[in-house]
Amino acid sequence: MTTTTDPTDPTDPTDPAGPATTATATRASWLREHSELGVSLILLALGVLVLGDALTMSVDIGQRGPVGPKTVPLVVGAGLLLVAVLLAVDVLRGGRGESEAGEDVDLSEPGDHRTVLLLVGVFLGFAVLVGPLGFPVSGALLFWGAAYALGSRHLRRDPLIAAALALVTYVVFNNLLGVPLPGGPLMGVL
C-alpha cells in the first residue's frame, strides 16, 4: 500500500515548512477565536488613561469635599478596568460575543461610506463654525446636515426643525443650566 502526501497539507511531516506553517496557522486561528481580547485591551488602556488623568488632576482646596471633581473619573476608570478584566476572563474561558443578528442589517453588503463621510464633514463643519457663528446657527446646520446625511430629504421641514432644536438646546444649556454656549451674532438677540 502506497500513500501519497499532499504538498499543500500543513501537517505533512516531510514538508520542511510544515511545523512552522502549522504553528502560524494555529496562532492565527487562536487570535481569530479570541478577537474580543482586543476590545478588552482597548478598555484597559482607556481605564489606565482615565485613572492616570484623574490621579494627576490638581484640585483647588475650595473644591474638596466628599464628592469632588476626581470622583467621577476615578469611578469611570475603575469601572473600565473591571470590565476589561471581566471581559478578558470570559473570553479566555470560552465566552464568545453574539453575532450580529439584526433583521435590518445585511452583513453581505459593504458599509455606507458616503453617509459616514457626510456625517464627518457635518461634525467638522460644526467644529469650525461654532466659534464665529455661535451655537444656534452652527447647531442648526449640524442638525440639518446630520438629517440630510442620514437620508431625510424634506427641504422645507428639516431646516425649521433643526433651527428650533438648536435654539431650544441653546436656551436650555445657556439660560437654564448655566452652561455658556457661544451665541455668535445672535448673542444680543437671545
Q: Averaged over 159-174, what is the pLDDT?
A: 92
> 37: closest CA among 99, 108, 90, 115?
90
**Among 2-16, 29-43, 96-110, where is mean pLDDT lowest?**
2-16
- Please tell me the predicted confidence (pLDDT) of residue 113: 87
- Please tell me the predicted confidence (pLDDT) of residue 71: 83
For the chain, give the mean pLDDT.
81
Please indicate, yes or no, whether the overall pTM of this predicted structure exceeds 0.85: no
- Please tell me the predicted confidence (pLDDT) of residue 141: 95
- When pLDDT is cut at 50, 70 and 90, the band that residue 147 belongs to is very high
Residue 12 exposure: Cα atoms within 13 Å on the Cβ side:
12
Our measurement of the distance from residue 154's CA atom to the centroid of its chain's CA atoms, rounded to an integer in Å, reads 29
Residue 167: CB partners within 8 Å, gap ≥ 6?
A: 136, 140, 190
Bigger pLDDT: 85 vs 112: 85
- Using DSSP, state whether 98 is helix, strand or coil: coil
